[in-house]
Amino acid sequence: MARRRLIVLVIALAAVVGAGAFAIAASNRVKGSAAETAQAYFDAWRRGNVTAMERLVYQAPSDFSVRHRKLSDELHVESLQLTPGQVRSLGDEAAEVPFSGVRRLAELGDWPFDGLLRLAVRDRSWKVLWAPETLHPLLKDGGTLELEEVETSAAELVTSEGDKIPNDSYAEAYLNPLKPEFEEVNYGWALVSRVPGRPDRTLLHREPKANVERTTLSRAVQAAAARALDGVEDSTIIVIRPSTGEILALADRLGENYSAVRDVFPPGSTFKAITAAALLKGGLDPAAQVGCPGTYQIPFHRPFSNDGEVDRGVVTFTDAFAHSCNTTFVEQATTRLTGEELSRTADEWGFGRPIATGIGGTCGTVPVTDDLDMLAADAIGQGEVVATPLCMAALAAAVQSGTWRSPRLLSHGQVRRIDGIPHGDVQMDEGLVAALRDMMTAVTGYGTASGAGLPEGVAGKTGTAEVEGETSHAWFIGYRDDLAFCVFVRHGGSGRSTAVPIAARFFKGL
């Protein structure tokens, strides 16, 4: 009996001891695991549940929630992807989990990053050991991440096709001053990392979008014009589409700040196209027989000579135009025209008016004169007659199309906004235009521009404008199909020897 009581007592004592040991073991047991805590943290982070995240952090800073929300708000984060790696044990009470993430920023798109989640046992539970670099590695050591606006008001002028203007196009003097007309403030973005004591780093950027404005310039035509002028100083070539008035090329290498659209020069024999128009309008037939002596003296006035005093005898008016007979045009103008009639005809073909291109411009002037000597000089493009290369290109375009159109470098709307309303289209007399076309074809077929390497189909008029005490200016105007052009070389010599080869190179380069 005593022995039975002893056994019961031993069992009871053992039970008490076992219960105490179990209680001690239970009180020392670590709750959960590193993997479970990491998974819960990442799940809460994906959901944006900052409160749940904070509960899993050991001694989270008081601004834990603020830091997370501030980063997302300031960087304009739209979404967050997180991909945890394998848990790496660092002993019984420490672990870490490498992870990768992608934040999608509203302005800059996807922004990937790599991070490390550190964990440890604290107060018998697995907790996250949070630091700023847990949010992003670049926030370590007091680093900040900032989204900045990048401002620009730049404007980009492009070709009619939307391409960049070719390099070394010789059009920069016109395009660069034009850009402020199209400048408007645009914004880009940059994501910048700043760490005290280190240079700032731009992590992502999106350049501000420039305001793009199309010009009428054709990439191919502009490139061919520019290359045709390579190596030729003080020169310009302007190309116009006769059917629309669009300036397809504006290559200007004129020196001393001269402008091909604003500055005027004596046009020489290219002006004979205007004088011929006035004479045709007055009744002179292209097939009429006219004299072309080496020298002609206006009765009781001064003499005029052909180049080299070449005497061609009696020729048709078309032949006189083709060979650029000064004496023919002096005699016919002074016997058939008045200064007022010549000036009025010039005005019909664009002279005496400003030209609204979008970059400004003018044509030229033919002052009315009662002096026969001055009228004779004007008739051959000397005297007081002056014109811009732009004006003479527009003249050639009007002969080709039968309509004088105001040249333009920009759209109709932009031209009106910048330069005002342009002069309206002027329909030319069909018979007169047809005669001028035949005469300009004769120039390239057997006249002063023949045998110079021009392609078939080019019609034109050469010009050599004398400048007192200096080398003459060289001119050549013309057209082929829906391309009209003016080549001008200031103090370049003769139109045939200097300007015509430039036109030939231009067409070869198309």
pLDDT tens, 369-409?
Answer: 999 999 999 999 999 999 999 999 999 999 999 999 999 99
Please say whether the beta carbons of 267 and 275 come within 8 A: no
**Residue 447 burial class via C-beta count within 10 angstroms: exposed 0-12, middle 13-18, buried 19 and up:** buried
Please say whether the beta carbons of 280 and 435 come within 8 A: yes
For residue 153, the model assigns a pLDDT of: 58
- Kindly report the average pLDDT of the chain as a whole number: 92
Quick one: angle between helices 272-281 and 389-401, nearest 10? 40
Residue 193: pLDDT band (50, 70, 90) is very high
**Alpha carbon distance 218, 503 (integer Å):** 17
Please say whether the beta carbons of 121 and 127 come within 8 A: yes
For residue 188, the model assigns a pLDDT of: 80
For residue 206, the model assigns a pLDDT of: 87
The residue assigned the tokens 């008035």 is 245
Q: Three-state SS across 452-487?
A: CCCCCCCEEEEEEEEECCEEEEEEEEEEECCEEEEE
Q: What is the pLDDT of residues 147-157, one digit of tens each?
A: 998 876 577 89
For residue 321, the model assigns a pLDDT of: 98
Q: What is the pLDDT of residues 60-91, one digit of tens each?
A: 999 999 999 999 999 999 999 999 999 999 99
**Cα-based torsion angle of the residue sequence 180, 185, 190, 196 in order, rounded to the nearest 10 degrees:** 90
Cα–Cα separations (whole angstroms), residue 167 to 113, 261, 408, 429: 41, 21, 22, 41
Q: How many CA atoms lie within 13 A of 250 on its CB side?
A: 29
For residue 28, the model assigns a pLDDT of: 55
Residue 502 neighbours by CB under 8 Å, 6+ apart? 228, 229, 232, 235, 237, 476, 487, 489
Please say whether the beta carbons of 466 and 266 come within 8 A: yes
Residue 182: pLDDT band (50, 70, 90) is confident
**Alpha carbon distance 1, 10 (integer Å):** 14
Residue 207: pLDDT band (50, 70, 90) is confident
